[in-house]
């Protein structure tokens, strides 16, 4: 009974050790690995979302810069989409991180985004006009630089979170590995003890008893026989050795899987920095080679404005055959293929602004699995995406440079034209007025009409030249006066000057104005109100109506001019305050004008710290509203 109890306890211990081995190192270890992969994927999504924040905000900043240079609202499309997408991406970063340091930096990044939008971009977009305030532009640049720094800090914190997760996972994996080795050792020890006990307590006596029986049956002859059960024991020990070898294989496979899990994130991080493209391409090739267990990695990536960068990994690896590269470059871009002989190939970056490149990974002795194929294809897609972004940024920079050059040429053209026109126009006006006013000269009706037409059109040209000079002036040349003025009094003067013009067209004019004090330049404000009222009268057919309404509160003064004219098509509203812009229906109806009046009104209102807005329906009329900061009424002496 004692021997049986010992054997029962030994087999029970073996069974228990096997169960613990299956549950702890294998079962819990696999759960830990799966959880680690989920953490790495989650952190990778946070890193990608953080990169998306910077990319979207860069798109928005580029759109605002383009709008500032050209005044065209078409350039604000990236701003309108980018700002909302950046907010969404910030939410994704917050959803995919569990690190408190990342969350604190993310709050700073969100504040930096809101600061740039609220203090720089939103006032410009809301005003609907390009802002030439250099202080605002400098402030916007500083705010965006701060956003870049905070975004980099968030990216570094997310990288630290990923490395902490890898370190923690490696420590836990080491603990499981040590436990697995200890359990295998215990199983071997207990198995050997059970086998030794069985052999000593059961097999040896049975062997001696069998020898005795055989000697009795054969007389004095005896034969040696192998003890029963030794072969079975050796089989068990060999099975345990095989199990230990399989454990080592699983551990090696887990290490390779951990290296592959961070490949795409590492490639993204290299391409986001990209201070030294050649060094980045070499590091990417090394990462891909280590993750895929490759023999060689050959890569050629063509960066915009840099040219092709070719790398062969490891150092000293022979270049691939030219026909293989030609075959890869002849294929479709971005579609990976498995080549005969263990090669993975994909064509990279085929666009009009850059030459195509390639990625060729070779490995002998092992076929590519589906997971490895997806891994390398994902890395290739990240490289393609980075190349497309760089190409788009270069195109934007080139477009902005061309627009800046066009703007400079436009300024030179306006200065040249106005200078060359003013001198002959002054002579035309002077001599024509001399002929008209010369005493003793009798003019027939035809001559009077001709001279009046010359004077009328010459004065019209003179007004246009004056408007061009006003639009082309540097901001520093025309400082805004800081007098406290009653805008209602200025509006009353303009109303009186244009009342006859409105009556000649049989228009009904309503004027309503209370006391409204503002700070500014009387001449400039009078010019803005006059041009706004002239526009309303000019574009309203006979029999229509034009109304003024001036209201004020403690903070703002609002002047609205409403007409029942031809209206403005919706597609023409975004460019309405751009110089030389004319609505399509105004051109169809041959309404005269160079398209400078509203641009001048916008500049004057902006110089006074205000804004202008428009609401219009084609065929029903338009309403222009000027909003200016209110000033306290002067105290009577």
| 183 and 312 inside one domain | no
**Which 3 state secondary structure label does DSSP give 372?**
helix
pLDDT of 590 > 70? The answer is no
Q: Which residue has the higher pLDDT, 196 or 95?
A: 95
pLDDT of 232 > 50? The answer is no
Starting at the edge strand found earlier in the chain, the sheet holding 343-348 runs 307-313, 296-303, 357-362, 343-348, 337-339
| 387 and 334 inside one domain | yes
Comparing CA positions, the residue from 180, 193, 260 lying closest to residue 14 is: 193
In a domain, 624, yes or no: yes
Can you give the CATH number for the domain in which 446 is found?
A: 1.10.287
pLDDT in tens, 111-165: 888 888 888 888 877 777 776 677 777 888 888 888 888 888 888 888 888 888 8
| 356 and 215 inside one domain | no
In a domain, 637, yes or no: no
| 99 and 128 inside one domain | yes
In sequence order, the β-bridge partners of residue 312 are 298
Can you give the CATH number for the domain in which 292 is found?
A: 3.30.450.40
Percent of the chain with pLDDT over 90: 2
| 157 and 210 inside one domain | yes
In a domain, 634, yes or no: no
Q: Which residues contact 49 (CB under 8 A, 6 or more apart)?
A: 89, 90, 92, 93, 96
| 255 and 174 inside one domain | yes
In a domain, 270, yes or no: no
pLDDT in tens, 363-382: 887 777 777 777 788 888 88
381 token code pair: 């897609």
Residue 243 to residues 24, 30, 196, 486, 629: CA-CA distances in angstroms? Answer: 15, 17, 21, 96, 83
In a domain, 266, yes or no: no
Kindly give the residue spans of alpha helices, DSSP state H, lying in 96-133: 100-116, 122-127
Q: Which range among 61-75, 446-460, 492-506, 591-605 has the greatest average pLDDT? A: 492-506
In sequence order, the β-bridge partners of residue 617 are 621
| 205 and 66 inside one domain | yes
Q: Rounded mean pLDDT of the chain?
A: 77
pLDDT, position 344 = 84
Which residue among 211, 229, 260 closes a domain?
260
pLDDT, position 1 = 44
Please list, residue by residue across 598-611, b when 16 or more beta carbons sit within 10 angstroms of its beta carbon and e when fewer do: bbbbbbbbbbbebb
Q: Rounded distance, CA 79 to CA 540, Å?
A: 36
What is the residue range of 226's domain? 2-260
In a domain, 132, yes or no: yes
Query: Lowest mean pLDDT: which of 125-129, 275-279, 358-362?
Result: 125-129
| 16 and 164 inside one domain | yes
Q: Rounded distance, CA 42 to CA 50, Å?
A: 12
Total domain count, the chain: 4
pLDDT in tens, 531-579: 888 888 888 888 899 998 898 888 899 999 999 988 888 888 878 887 7
498 and 534 Cβ atoms separated by less than 8 Å? yes
How large is the average pLDDT for residues 448-477?
71
pLDDT in tens, 81-104: 777 888 888 888 888 888 888 888
579 token code pair: 């110089």
Comparing CA positions, the residue from 168, 39, 161 lying closest to residue 102 is: 161
| 135 and 97 inside one domain | yes
Can you give the CATH number for the domain in which 590 is found?
A: 3.30.565.10
| 326 and 403 inside one domain | no
pLDDT in tens, 47-72: 888 888 888 888 888 877 777 776 77
Q: Rounded distance, CA 35 to CA 447, Å?
A: 97
Pairing of strands 556-563, 621-629: antiparallel
Q: Which residue has the higher pLDDT, 512 or 183?
A: 512
Q: Rounded distance, CA 332 to CA 347, Å?
A: 7
**CA 554 to chain CA mean position, Å:** 41
Q: Which residue has the higher pLDDT, 298 or 135?
A: 298
pLDDT band for 229, please (50, 70, 90 cuts): very low
pLDDT in tens, 412-434: 777 777 777 777 878 887 878 88
Can you give the CATH number for the domain in which 47 is found?
A: 1.20.120.1730
Conformation bin of residue 533: beta by default, left when phi > 0, alpha when psi is -120 to 50: alpha
Residue indicated by tokens 């207990």: 190
| 179 and 229 inside one domain | yes
Q: Rounded distance, CA 474 to CA 70, Å?
A: 16
547 and 509 Cβ atoms separated by less than 8 Å? yes
In a domain, 269, yes or no: no
Backbone φ, ψ for residue 145 (5° rounding): -60, -40
pLDDT, position 352 = 64
In a domain, 87, yes or no: yes
pLDDT, position 327 = 83
Q: Which residue has the higher pLDDT, 2 or 452?
A: 452
Which residue among 391, 419, 435 closes a domain?
391
| 325 and 366 inside one domain | yes
Backbone φ, ψ for residue 296 (5° rounding): -140, 155
Which residue among 339, 373, 391 closes a domain?
391
pLDDT band for 202, please (50, 70, 90 cuts): low
């Amino acid at each position: 009974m004692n021997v049986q109890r010992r054997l029962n306890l030994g087999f029970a211990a073996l069974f228990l050790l096997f169960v613990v081995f299956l549950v702890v190192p294998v079962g819990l270890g696999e759960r830990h690995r799966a959880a680690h992969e989920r953490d790495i994927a989650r952190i990778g999504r946070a890193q990608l979302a953080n990169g998306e924040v910077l990319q979207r905000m860069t798109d928005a900043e580029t759109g605002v810069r383009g709008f500032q240079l050209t005044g065209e609202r078409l350039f604000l499309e990236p701003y309108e989409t980018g700002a909302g997408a950046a907010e969404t991406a910030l939410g994704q970063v917050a959803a995919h991180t569990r690190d408190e340091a990342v969350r604190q930096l993310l709050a700073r990044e969100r504040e930096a985004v809101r600061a740039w939008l609220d203090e720089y971009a939103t006032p410009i977009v809301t005003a609907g006009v390009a802002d030439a305030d250099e202080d605002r532009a400098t402030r916007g640049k500083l705010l965006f630089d701060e956003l870049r720094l905070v975004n980099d800090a968030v990216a570094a914190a997310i990288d630290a979170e990923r490395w902490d997760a890898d370190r923690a996972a490696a420590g836990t994996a080491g603990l499981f590995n040590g436990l697995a080795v200890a359990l295998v050792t215990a199983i071997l020890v207990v198995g050997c003890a059970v086998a030794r006990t069985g052999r000593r307590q059961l097999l040896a006596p049975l062997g001696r008893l069998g020898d005795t029986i055989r000697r009795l049956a054969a007389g004095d002859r005896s034969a040696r026989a192998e003890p029963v059960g030794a072969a079975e024991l050796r089989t068990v020990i060999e099975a345990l050795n095989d199990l230990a070898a399989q454990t080592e294989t699983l551990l090696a496979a887990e290490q390779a899987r951990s290296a592959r899990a961070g490949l795409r994130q590492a490639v993204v991080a290299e391409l986001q920095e990209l201070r030294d493209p050649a060094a980045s391409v070499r590091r990417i090739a090394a990462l891909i080679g280590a993750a895929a267990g490759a023999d060689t990695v050959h890569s050629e990536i063509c960066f915009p404005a840099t040219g092709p960068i070719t790398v062969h990994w490891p150092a000293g690896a022979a270049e691939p055959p030219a026909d293989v590269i030609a075959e890869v470059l002849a294929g479709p871009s971005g579609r990976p293929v498995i080549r005969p002989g263990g090669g993975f190939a994909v064509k990279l970056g085929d666009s009009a602004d850059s030459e195509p490149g390639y990625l060729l990974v070779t490995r002998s002795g092992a076929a590519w699995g589906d997971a490895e194929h997806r891994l390398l294809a994902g890395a290739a897609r990240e490289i393609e995406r980075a190349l497309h972004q760089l190409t788009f940024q270069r195109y934007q920079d080139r477009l902005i440079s061309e627009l800046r050059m066009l703007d400079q040429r436009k300024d030179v053209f306006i200065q040249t034209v106005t200078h060359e026109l003013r001198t002959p126009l002054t002579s035309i006006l002077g001599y024509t007025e001399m002929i008209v006013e010369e005493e003793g000269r009798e003019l027939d009706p035809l001559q009077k009409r001709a001279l009046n037409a010359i004077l009328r059109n010459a004065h019209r040209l003179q007004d246009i030249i004056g408007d061009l000079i006003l639009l082309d002036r540097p901001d520093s040349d025309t400082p805004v006066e800081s007098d406290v003025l009653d805008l209602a009094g200025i509006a009353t003067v303009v109303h009186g000057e244009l009342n006859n013009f409105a009556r000649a067209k049989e228009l009904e004019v309503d004027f309503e104005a209370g006391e409204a004090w503002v700070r500014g330049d009387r001449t400039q404000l009078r010019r803005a109100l006059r041009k706004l009222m002239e526009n309303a009268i000019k574009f309203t057919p006979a029999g229509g109506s034009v109304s003024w309404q001036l209201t004020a509160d403690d903070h703002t003064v609002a002047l609205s001019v409403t007409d029942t004219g031809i209206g403005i098509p919706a597609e023409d509203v975004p460019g309405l305050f751009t110089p030389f812009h004319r609505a399509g229906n105004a051109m169809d109806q041959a309404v005269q004008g160079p398209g400078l009046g509203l641009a001048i009104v916008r500049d004057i209102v902006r110089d006074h710290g205000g804004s202008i807005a428009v609401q219009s329906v084609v065929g029903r009329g338009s309403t222009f509203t000027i909003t200016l900061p209110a000033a306290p009424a002067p105290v009577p002496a």
